[in-house]
């Protein structure tokens, strides 16, 4: 493995954490998982987005910074690879969707200060799934505060992610995860592993997963 830091991203319910667990086990990598359940504003946000969006996003940014900042100071003798189930830029992307313009401009100033202090991933794996698939996964994992997430909200998040990927030159594996089953289908996982072991250049690189049969 030529990379030292891999981040996995995607919309709500795309399967980021599942893939992060699988890859960290395969490569014996250090695993960083987002502690979203610790955010005291999350449930309230889904009930009243306008009131709770700003403290929600500030809390997420602070927690993500705390986790990512450890990478700057860490010398891990047992793991040469770190895998995270989120990209720190996620802070800005969700804030863009959730915050009104004045609050977003303030948030972006704070983000820009923090962002410069962090190590950026060598490669981003982005899982792109249709809205129906996301809703199916959301229902399956059955987190009460997520059950009211609208298709419109998921679409806004999706468009924000894909717009970011198109505009930036970061090395990205853009995976069509419409039928993804990384736990049950070894061929799906093999697409990811082969891509990570291929010398790809900067920018997005698009991959589809084999259909059954």
Residue positions annotated with a catalytic role: 85
β-sheet bridge partners, residue 174:
126, 206
End-to-end CA distance of the chain: 31
How many Å apart are CA 80 and CA 103, to the nearest integer? 39
Q: How far apart are CA 192 and CA 194, in angstroms?
A: 6
Sheet strands (E) in the chain: 5-10, 30-32, 82-84, 123-128, 172-176, 204-208
């Amino acid at each position: 493995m030529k990379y030292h830091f891999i981040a996995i991203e995607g919309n709500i319910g795309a399967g980021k954490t599942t893939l992060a667990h699988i890859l960290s086990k395969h490569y014996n990598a250090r695993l960083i998982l987002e502690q979203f359940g610790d955010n005291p504003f999350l449930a309230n946000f889904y009930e009243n987005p306008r009131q709770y969006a700003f403290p929600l996003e500030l809390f997420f940014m602070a927690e993500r910074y705390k986790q990512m900042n450890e990478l700057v100071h860490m010398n891990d003798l047992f793991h040469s690879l770190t895998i995270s189930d989120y990209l720190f830029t996620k802070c800005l992307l969700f804030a863009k969707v959730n915050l009104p313009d004045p609050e977003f401009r303030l948030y972006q100033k704070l983000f820009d200060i923090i962002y410069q202090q962090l190590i950026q991933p060598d490669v981003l794996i982005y899982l792109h799934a249709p809205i129906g698939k996301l809703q199916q996964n959301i229902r399956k994992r059955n987190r009460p505060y997520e059950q009211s997430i609208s298709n419109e909200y998921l679409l806004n998040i999706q468009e924000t992610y894909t717009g970011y990927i198109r505009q930036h030159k970061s090395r990205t594996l853009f995976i069509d995860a419409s039928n993804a089953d990384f736990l049950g289908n070894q061929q799906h996982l093999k697409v990811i592993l082969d891509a990570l072991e291929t010398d790809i250049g900067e920018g997005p690189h698009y991959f589809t997963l084999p259909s059954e049969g």
